Structure 1
Amino acid sequence: METRIFFNPGDSIANIHDYNEAVRQGQIFKRERHSDDLVIAKGPGDEEYAIFYAKDAVKNPGKGQKPYDVKNTL
């Protein structure tokens, strides 16, 4: 079952149309930057996959935040 969480779209690290490419880019970003956990999520319009820092997620919507379905965590 997918988890729905909320992010501010402006906080995304990248927006990519292909899921496999999003995973690959997220892995590269995490390895090169030694970053915190990342989330790959499908956006509100189901058009793109977005990569976010997991710590930026919130459970309840706020101003400017949109719902995303988590597809993977890195």
Structure 2
Amino acid sequence: MDNRIFFNPGDSIANINDYNEAVRKGQIFKKEQHTDDLVIAKGPGDEEYAIFYAKDALPADHHASQPYDVQQKL
């Protein structure tokens, strides 16, 4: 998986300021939803970490896409 990925910010499962908290919430969500398709990504403004389904990635030229840097795949 490349480090840069594009998402619609409205598709995020959660937005969290603390990386460790994002990992913890992502792991809980993964266990509850029985999925292995999650990524934790740093947002465009470098202010928050967002949790997304990897399958929700968009092409770079999509009108709603914004760049995120993948921090971890869960």
Give the alignment's TM-score, normalised by structure 2: 0.92
User: Aligned equivalents of 2:6 and 2:61: distance in 1?
Assistant: 6
Q: Which residue of the partner structure matches residue 11 of structure 1?
A: 11
What do you get for the CA RMSD once the two structures are aligned?
1.2
User: Aligned equivalents of 2:13 and 2:69: distance in 1?
Assistant: 16
Q: Which residue of the partner structure matches residue 37 of structure 1?
A: 37
User: Aligned equivalents of 2:21 and 2:48: distance in 1?
Assistant: 11
Gapped regions of structure 2 (runs ≥ 5)? none
User: Aligned equivalents of 1:67 and 1:13: distance in 2?
Assistant: 16
Number of aligned positions between the proteins: 73
Q: Is the 8 A contact 2:60 2:66 kept in 1?
A: no
Q: Is the 8 A contact 1:7 1:65 kept in 2?
A: yes
Gapped regions of structure 1 (runs ≥ 5)? none
Q: Which residue of the partner structure matches residue 65 of structure 1?
A: 65
User: Aligned equivalents of 2:23 and 2:61: distance in 1?
Assistant: 25
The code of the aligned residue for 2:11 comes to D
Give the alignment's TM-score, normalised by structure 1: 0.92
User: Aligned equivalents of 1:58 and 1:73: distance in 2?
Assistant: 17
Q: Is the 8 A contact 1:6 1:61 kept in 2?
A: no
